[in-house]
Amino acid sequence: MFATAARWAAKKGKPKMAPIELTTPPEQAQSITRAIFDVVREHGPLTISDVWDHVKDVGLRGLTSKRQMKIMLRWMRERQKLRLICDHDGPHKQFLYTTWFTNPRNAPQRPKPELKAKAEKLPTFPSSSKQP
C-alpha cells in the first residue's frame, strides 16, 4: 500500500495551458475567424491541411501562414467556435475540425486507401466475343 501511495504522489500533473492571446487586431481576427468558420461549415469536417487549402483559395489578406492559421484554429477551439473530432480508421487516426452543429455520423466519409488499391489491382479483360 505504501508503494502505491508513493507512485501516486510521484505523478506529475498535466501542465496548465495559458489562454491564447492573439496578436492581430480584433477586426482582422474577426474576419479571419469568420472565413475559417465558413470554410469548415461549408466543406464539412476537415483536416488542418484541408482547411489551409480552402482558406488559400478564399484569399484572406490577414492570414499569412499555416502556423498562424493553426493558432487561430486553436483559439477558436478554446472559444468553442469549433470542435476537434478523431476519426479512427483501423490503426490510423485522423483529427478533423468541425462546427458544433455538424453531426459527425452524417459527415461525408473519406475514401479508404485499401479499397482504392484493390480496385486498381483488378485486371480488365477485353470482351470475350471470338470471331470464327
Q: What is the pLDDT of residue 126?
A: 58
Quick check: is 57 in a domain?
A: yes
Question: Cell numbers at residue 39, please?
Answer: 470554410
In a domain, 75, yes or no: yes
| Crossing angle of helices 66-78 and 48-58, rounded to 10° | 110
* Residue 4 falls inside a structural domain: no
CATH number of the domain within which 69 lies: 1.10.10.10
Angle at 33 between CA 92 and CA 23, to 5 degrees: 105
pLDDT of residue 131: 57
Structure confidence by residue, pLDDT tens digits, 73-116: 999 999 999 999 998 878 888 999 999 887 656 555 555 555 45
